[in-house]
Chains A and B, each alone.
Chain A
Amino acid sequence: MDGTGHGAENLKALTALDAGLVGCRHCTRVAPLGATICTRCGGALESRDRTSMQRVWAWWLVGLLFFIPANLYPMLITQTVGRASEATIVGGVIELAQHGAYGVAGIVFFASIIIPVGKFIAIGYLALIVRKPHGHKPKSLLHLFEVVEWIGRWSMIDVFVVAILVALVQFNLLATINPGIAAVCFALSVVFTMLSALSFDSRRIWDQIETIADE
């Protein structure tokens, strides 16, 4: 076994659980099944996280609840000589596109709309699949999880942009920029969906992948 690439032949493997062991997710050391604390790094051990799905759904739901006001309320409040204008997330993207900055508009749209929405769908989908697998391609399942885990933090871009704009333009007489309530909601939504993805026990997805490959 050279370990290069993951073809279908590699979908089955002897897991720590099969061998009556529990592996530490922090330091990779194995311990006998039933041990609760890793002797090497002191991390908590659990062969398959039993409460994982409850936490995934709880964070997912809270994240979704904050995502709604994040899109309805203004992200930025700009005041230019007596005129005040408010921009929501989508409004900011449209404004960028009107300035001809299509590339940046694309990045912001992708980071603030596509990624969060896609992430809600992907986590929900994965959480349902783990419970009841039927006729899914194992490979696509695992790639989906890798992408969800990696990409979620990038949604934070818009919050940072707001912070930078506020810091820069604050003392300028031409315009004053203030953060809107949506910035807080959006930041919370990103944090909660990250927690939701992090609560996922990837080993359970692999258990399912193995089951599906068996069929």
Chain B
Amino acid sequence: MEAGDDLVCCPVCDALHRVGEVDDDTRVRCIRCNTVIAVGRPEAILRIVVLASTALILMTIVVFYPFLELRNGIFTSKASVFQTVMSFSEGVMAPLSIAVAFFVIVLPVARLMALLWALFPLSIGAKPLRGARTMLRWAEILKPWAMAEIFMVGVAVALIKLADLATLSMGPAFWSFAAIVFITALKDTQMSKHSIWTALDTAQRT
């Protein structure tokens, strides 16, 4: 077998496939481990770009707005994602503060920006930017470390833990954050390594 453009190797199980043009609205799965290796969606890149930019804009708003409000008679306290991240910033807990900042804000944002860097020019039919390949590779590497959706569940748990201590209500940022999680999940279903890399290859050649 010659190493050609249509030869695709499953990243999970190493099985070789010959993938040519993929029909619209079909997925090609690995014959052995069932991993999706190609998605036949010509508009997939555009969708990913739109979803990623939406999530990125929401993210910048969300970080500084309160997502939880606590009322207890005369006292009111609000917490934003930024405050939550800073809650460990004193003393020995400082490294934990940095870690939470990375998992909840820095890595999700970095991942979205890397994706946009690599794919935005493609969506408007322009030539890819410099370093598009490295960016795309890093977007994939960062995936398990971006934990915005886990943070959401954490908010729900915290809410119930404090339920009898005070009245709690969710601020606007909570719903925006929920939207980000949903959008990111939707975006990831549009992605398939082979399809995106092929699109990047094609754009670079023209």
What residues make up the interface of A, taking CB atoms closer than 8 Å to B?
1, 3-6, 10-21, 23-32, 40-43, 47, 92, 96, 99, 101, 104, 107-108, 142, 153-154, 156-161, 163-175, 179, 181, 183-184, 187, 191, 194, 198, 202-203, 206-207
Give complex CA distance A107, B153 in Å.
Answer: 9
Interface residues on B, range: 35 or more
Inter-chain contacts of A12 with B (CB < 8 A): 32
Q: Shortest Cβ distance from A197 into chain B, in angstroms?
A: 9
Known interface pairs A10-B32, A179-B87; A30-B93 also in contact (CB < 8 Å): no
Inter-chain contacts of B153 with A (CB < 8 A): 107, 154, 157
Known interface pairs A164-B158, A174-B165; A203-B12 also in contact (CB < 8 Å): yes
Inter-chain contacts of B150 with A (CB < 8 A): 153-154, 156-157, 160
Give complex CA distance A164, B166 in Å.
Answer: 15
Interface core residue of A24, A28, A47 (most chain B CB under 10 Å): A28
Interface core residue of B14, B33, B99, B104 (most chain A CB under 10 Å): B14
Selected contact of B28 from candidates A3, A6, A43, CB within 8 Å: A3
Whether B155 lies near A175 (C-beta < 8 A) is: no
**0/1 interface trace, chain B 79-94, chain A, CB 8 Å (1 if under):** 1000111111000110
Interface core residue of A101, A104, A154 (most chain B CB under 10 Å): A104
Inter-chain contacts of A154 with B (CB < 8 A): 150, 153
> Closest residue to B29 on the A side, CB-wise?
A3
Inter-chain contacts of B79 with A (CB < 8 A): 164, 167-168
Inter-chain contacts of A10 with B (CB < 8 A): 31-32
Give complex CA distance A181, B85 in Å.
Answer: 17
Selected contact of B162 from candidates A165, A187, A198, A203, CB within 8 Å: A165
Q: Which positions 28-57 of chain B face chain A at CB distance < 8 Å?
A: 28-34, 37
Is B70 part of the binding interface, using a Cβ–Cβ cutoff of 8 Å?
yes
3 nearest interchain CB pairs?
A: A23-B9, A160-B154, A206-B13
Inter-chain contacts of B32 with A (CB < 8 A): 6, 10-13, 206
Inter-chain contacts of B144 with A (CB < 8 A): 153, 194, 198
Give complex CA distance A14, B86 in Å.
Answer: 51
Is B197 part of the binding interface, using a Cβ–Cβ cutoff of 8 Å?
yes
| A-B contact list, 20 entries, CB within 8 Å | A3-B29, A10-B32, A16-B16, A24-B9, A29-B3, A29-B197, A32-B3, A96-B161, A160-B104, A161-B157, A163-B96, A164-B158, A165-B162, A168-B70, A168-B77, A179-B88, A187-B100, A206-B12, A206-B15, A207-B14
